[in-house]
Structure 1
Amino acid sequence: MSAACALRQRFQQTGKPTMKRRNFLKQVAGATALSAMSATATGAAREERGRAAATPNLLWIWCDNLAYGDLGCYGNKRINTPVIDGLAESGARFTQYYIAHTVCSPSRAALLTGRQPFRTGIVDVLRPDSPTGIPSDEITLGDALRANGYATAAIGKWHLGDRTEYLPAQHGFDFYFGLPYSMDMLPTLLYRNNDIIEELPGDAVQNITERFVDEAISFMETNRDRPFFIYFNHTLPHPPINLPPERRSPGQTVYDDAIEHIDDQTGRLLAALDRMELAEETLVVFTSDNGPMGKYGDTAGLRGRIRDSYEGGIRVPLIARWPGKIPAGSVVDTPAISYDIFPTFVKLAGGKPPADRIYDGQDLWPVLSGKGDIKRDKPFFWVYLDKVTAMRKGNWKLHVSHRDSPLEIPELYDVKSDPYEARPLNERHPDIVKEMLEAIRNYEAGIPKVWSLQYPVRDPNKRNSGVRRE
């Protein structure tokens, strides 16, 4: 089997960490231990919750390949999503939120580390039994938030390596309940922390979403008296989709049913926060890791799908709610990208990103709170393997490759006036094309070379890749 694996050249251009992750964790271990001990005492726990305005609970809900136009609040007239639409009505809805990579594993690496995926060495989809995964010296959101006193849980799809050293328990999460990779990779193994507790063949996966939600609610209950971070990862609507029979609607596609199922289960999470009187103290974010896969998925007319750096492949919904902190019904048109989440969450938790490595994102709180704007320090670059495919600077977006195939003629678009990327402006603005091509060349000089890696799948029960057909 062939997979792309980055040769992680250790030089400062790529953001070489000079502080080992374990040293970072040692520096904050004392503070974390004190925080955890105080959270077990009733009086101290009440004091801890009294500081919630400064340190909210963080609930991150990630769908797998949900398209930009799949929700009612993003214009869909066919699929019923009242819970998620209500979340948008009571919070903020982003119109130009991007994921940092066109496929799953790198996209997740970017979110959890706040860094371009190539800096972590994860540059393509990881397969079952891949010898690579998230490196031990990367500091994840789990690490950084736990260092600031948070209880941390990863629930649902992980997809950053399925060997023990790459699982969430080794990367900042107190608790893990989920699947190590996508639903189209076999076998479907359910983990609790580092242990495989079940194999879920065929229809045994039908109620997995409910089980994920059950575990998330249980984690909230257990940690209601201290700040918590739940990194919740749906497996839906990534194909193949296998839903409980009662979730199927006559005359409706299984894809649409899956999104309505997500909406229902999101309602369970929000109801649990209400029941525990934690809604006012919790920042909830609902979004997607990539554009749509397969023939279903409504991009709202945006060009492209998963693996494409056109807008339909990388622009996804993002909704954020924190009652009293984020203005209800607000619409954020400021461009944002998934590696912005790391500095945003860490700052809200009272911490700072380590100073020993390159971080690519910026704090989004000024636009989330409605109290300011952000000025971008640098453009957005999308990289596939070791080459830039597209760049956005201001309203300008330049495409130079389609996946791993260079374009004969670069394509320049004004994505504010033409989000559908239907009217290339190369000939009208050759100066802009020249400037952006130069920026791309300079940026590529700092990207490590990617080599093709041949490796055997050591576990005979694991399928190399490909869509499950059983």
Structure 2
Amino acid sequence: MKKYIILYVFVLVMTCMMGCTYYPESNHAEKPPNILFILTDDQANWTLSINDNPNSFTPELDKLAEQGALFENAFATSAVCSPARASLITGRYPSETNIMDYIPVDSEIGMDTTLVTWPEVLQQNGYQTALIGKWHLGKNEKYLPNQRGYKFFVGFPVGGFKSKSPDVWSESEWKSIDGEYTPDVLTDLTIKQINSFHQQNKPFAISLHYWAPHANTQFPEGYQPPYDDRSWLPLKDEDLNYWLNRDAILPEPNFPELDVDRVKRMTREYHASVHSVDRNIGRIMNSLDQLGLTNNTIIIFTSDHGYMMGHHGLWHKGNGRWLTQNEKDPMGVYGSNRPNMYDYSLKVPAIVRWPDKIKPGTLINETISFLDWYPTILSMTGIKKPENVTLRGNNALPLLMGETTEGWDNNIFAQYKTLRTYRTPEWKLVRDFSDDGKDELYNLERDPNEKINLIQNTDESIQKKLDNLDSKMFDIMDAINDMLL
């Protein structure tokens, strides 16, 4: 009898060695969840129709929010793409990643290679990983996604550049995909990758980084927009038609010297580009349903930073550009550009769907930042943080699960070039370390749109609040060895 028991144990061990996959800290009765992290480019929080924007039409994203959790106060750690993306993937502040501004096409810099990304940790713990779409954290080989935790990478080392006929980097070479719209191309590639990973019967973590709704910097061969200006065209008819005959409602129609016609045209195109993402997310959800992956796949949707379209008379983000008739500051303070850390530039949409884990229709008012995604994803997957990894954020899974949130830190610190901001739910301080005359202080409770700068107000209570915010800002800057100190 004893020899049969020994033989049984031997066969069991050998079987596991040949065919079993070990997933650390996971429930053995339950396969680890898949992760699909969807990141758009330049999509503001106010673009979701579930947030009651009169211009928006995002039925698929609204459905996603209704099926899961919607964060009402999610913020990027920087107001432009590259530093924000670096924070998201490392859990560290921009200054700690070596990226403080967007990386130009001809630049040789990249994200600090000593930092361990969350895709790396997942890959080391049995996950199949892939990034499809925009990277923008360094174009040289040592900086590419394949070196930062993604086994597979198909997309754009820098930017997608155009909404149709994109040039895609795949297997160390460029491939032109003529005649296809960029959001559809990236979605097709994602669905193909999901199918491939599914056949291998291993958990996967796929980052899908859309170029949309970023305005185009290039156009397909033979196409020129019908005006000499930045454009989101060409777009699919099914994305554009909804807005063709609509009169866009502007956030600040009476802003001094506003170029109203231009703002309305840009607003319609921008929302049409947002819809191109929304439509394709519906395709991905259908694909997950067909493969039977819906219940065990966590969907995280967000954007790399916020956006303005007429807010404060600007368009764009932290490197805001004026929408006035002469494209300059009507007050004569900032010239052609308006560096900023407005909430409109930092606040992002954030949705998480995890069937059977997150209650449908969950609304979360607590503040989260990009620093929180790393620890949250590790908690979702049951993977321990490596001992050599420092993270600045907090695990937001208890918020998603509806657990007690007592003691949650709702304050955030963000960086962009020489700008630093410390924000609480009630107050916001912005310091411009390049110009002492351009600091800003806002009472968000009374002035949520950041119109009244109180930095010069001599009221004792306001000065006391300013001192407190200053102290907290400098504490963080000191803790992370911010170069501006």
Q: TM-score w.r.t. structure 2 length?
A: 0.75
Count of residue correspondences: 401
Question: Residue 429 of structure 1: CA displacement?
Answer: 2.4
What is the CA–CA distance in structure 1 between the aligned matches of 2:49 and 2:483, rounded to whole Å? Answer: 42
Instruction: Select the residue among 413, 419, 444 that pairs with 2:448.
Output: 419
Q: Decide whether aligned partners of structure 1 residues 151 and 242 sit closer, same or farther in structure 2, where only a CA change above 3 A counts.
A: farther
Map of 1:21-420 to 2, 5 A cutoff? 41=19, 55-184=32-161, 189-193=167-171, 195-199=172-176, 204=178, 206-224=180-198, 225-240=201-216, 241-247=232-238, 248-249=240-241, 250-251=244-245, 253-292=268-307, 295=309, 306-307=317-318, 308-373=340-405, 375-376=407-408, 379-385=411-417, 387-393=418-424, 395-401=426-432, 404-408=434-438, 410-413=440-443, 415-416=444-445, 418-420=447-449
The higher relative CO (CA closer than 8 Å, separation ≥ 6) is in 1
CA offsets, 1:64-98, max 9 Å, x none? 00112111111123332111110111111111100
Unaligned runs of 5+ in 2: 1-14, 217-231, 247-267, 319-339
Question: Residue 208 of structure 1: CA displacement?
Answer: 2.0
Q: Decide whether aligned partners of structure 1 residues 183 and 197 sit closer, same or farther in structure 2, where only a CA change above 3 A counts.
A: closer
Q: Tell me, yes or no, if the aligned pair for 1:57 and 1:227 is still in contact at 8 Å.
A: yes
Question: Residue 140 of structure 1: CA displacement?
Answer: 0.9
CA offsets, 1:315-367, max 9 Å, x none? 11111111111111111000000110000001222222233353210000010
Alignment-mate amino acid for residue 220 of structure 1? I
Q: Tell me, yes or no, if the aligned pair for 2:341 and 2:419 is still in contact at 8 Å.
A: no
Question: Residue 245 of structure 1: CA displacement?
Answer: 4.2
What is the CA–CA distance in structure 2 between the aligned matches of 1:447 and 1:419, rounded to whole Å? Answer: 31
Larger radius of gyration: 2
Alignment-mate amino acid for residue 443 of structure 1? I
Q: Tell me, yes or no, if the aligned pair for 1:291 and 1:314 is still in contact at 8 Å.
A: yes
Q: Decide whether aligned partners of structure 1 residues 303 and 189 sit closer, same or farther in structure 2, where only a CA change above 3 A counts.
A: closer
Q: Decide whether aligned partners of structure 1 residues 423 and 254 sit closer, same or farther in structure 2, where only a CA change above 3 A counts.
A: closer
Instruction: Select the residue among 454, 462, 478 that pairs with 1:429.
Output: 462
Q: Tell me, yes or no, if the aligned pair for 1:45 and 1:226 is still in contact at 8 Å.
A: no
Matched-pair identity in %: 28
Q: Specify the SS of the correspondent of 2:189.
A: helix
What is the CA–CA distance in structure 2 between the aligned matches of 1:399 and 1:260, rounded to whole Å? Answer: 33
Question: Residue 183 of structure 1: CA displacement?
Answer: 3.9
Counterpart position of 1:453: none
Q: Tell me, yes or no, if the aligned pair for 1:93 and 1:320 is still in contact at 8 Å.
A: yes
Alignment-mate amino acid for residue 101 of structure 1? S
Q: Decide whether aligned partners of structure 1 residues 44 and 87 sit closer, same or farther in structure 2, where only a CA change above 3 A counts.
A: same
Alignment-mate amino acid for residue 85 of structure 1? D
Question: Residue 377 of structure 1: CA displacement?
Answer: 5.7
Q: Specify the SS of the correspondent of 2:348.
A: coil
What is the CA–CA distance in structure 2 between the aligned matches of 1:321 and 1:271, rounded to whole Å? Answer: 14
What is the CA–CA distance in structure 2 between the aligned matches of 1:424 and 1:328, rounded to whole Å? Answer: 39
CA offsets, 1:95-152, max 9 Å, x none? 1100111110000000000110111111111112422112221111210111221111
- Higher deviation after alignment, 236-245 or 212-221: 236-245
Q: Tell me, yes or no, if the aligned pair for 1:189 and 1:199 is still in contact at 8 Å.
A: yes
- Higher deviation after alignment, 50-59 or 159-168: 50-59
What is the CA–CA distance in structure 1 between the aligned matches of 2:30 and 2:445, rounded to whole Å? Answer: 35
Question: Residue 51 of structure 1: CA displacement?
Answer: 5.3
Counterpart position of 1:14: none
Alignment-mate amino acid for residue 422 of structure 2? M
- Higher deviation after alignment, 430-439 or 241-250: 241-250
What is the CA–CA distance in structure 2 between the aligned matches of 1:148 and 1:190, rounded to whole Å? Answer: 29
Q: Specify the SS of the correspondent of 1:96.
A: strand
Q: Specify the SS of the correspondent of 2:150.
A: coil
Alignment-mate amino acid for residue 365 of structure 2? D
CA offsets, 1:12-38, max 9 Å, x none? xxxxxxxxxxxxxxxxxxxxxxxxx97
What is the CA–CA distance in structure 2 between the aligned matches of 1:390 and 1:163, rounded to whole Å? Answer: 31
Question: Residue 394 of structure 1: CA displacement?
Answer: 5.0
- Higher deviation after alignment, 214-223 or 109-118: 214-223
Q: Tell me, yes or no, if the aligned pair for 2:431 and 2:439 is still in contact at 8 Å.
A: yes
What is the CA–CA distance in structure 2 between the aligned matches of 1:245 and 1:449, rounded to whole Å? Answer: 45
Q: Decide whether aligned partners of structure 1 residues 319 and 312 sit closer, same or farther in structure 2, where only a CA change above 3 A counts.
A: same
Q: Tell me, yes or no, if the aligned pair for 2:118 and 2:149 is still in contact at 8 Å.
A: yes
Question: Residue 191 of structure 1: CA displacement?
Answer: 1.1
What is the CA–CA distance in structure 1 between the aligned matches of 2:191 and 2:465, rounded to whole Å? Answer: 50
Q: Specify the SS of the correspondent of 2:405.
A: coil
Question: Residue 219 of structure 1: CA displacement?
Answer: 1.5
Question: Residue 433 of structure 1: CA displacement?
Answer: 0.8
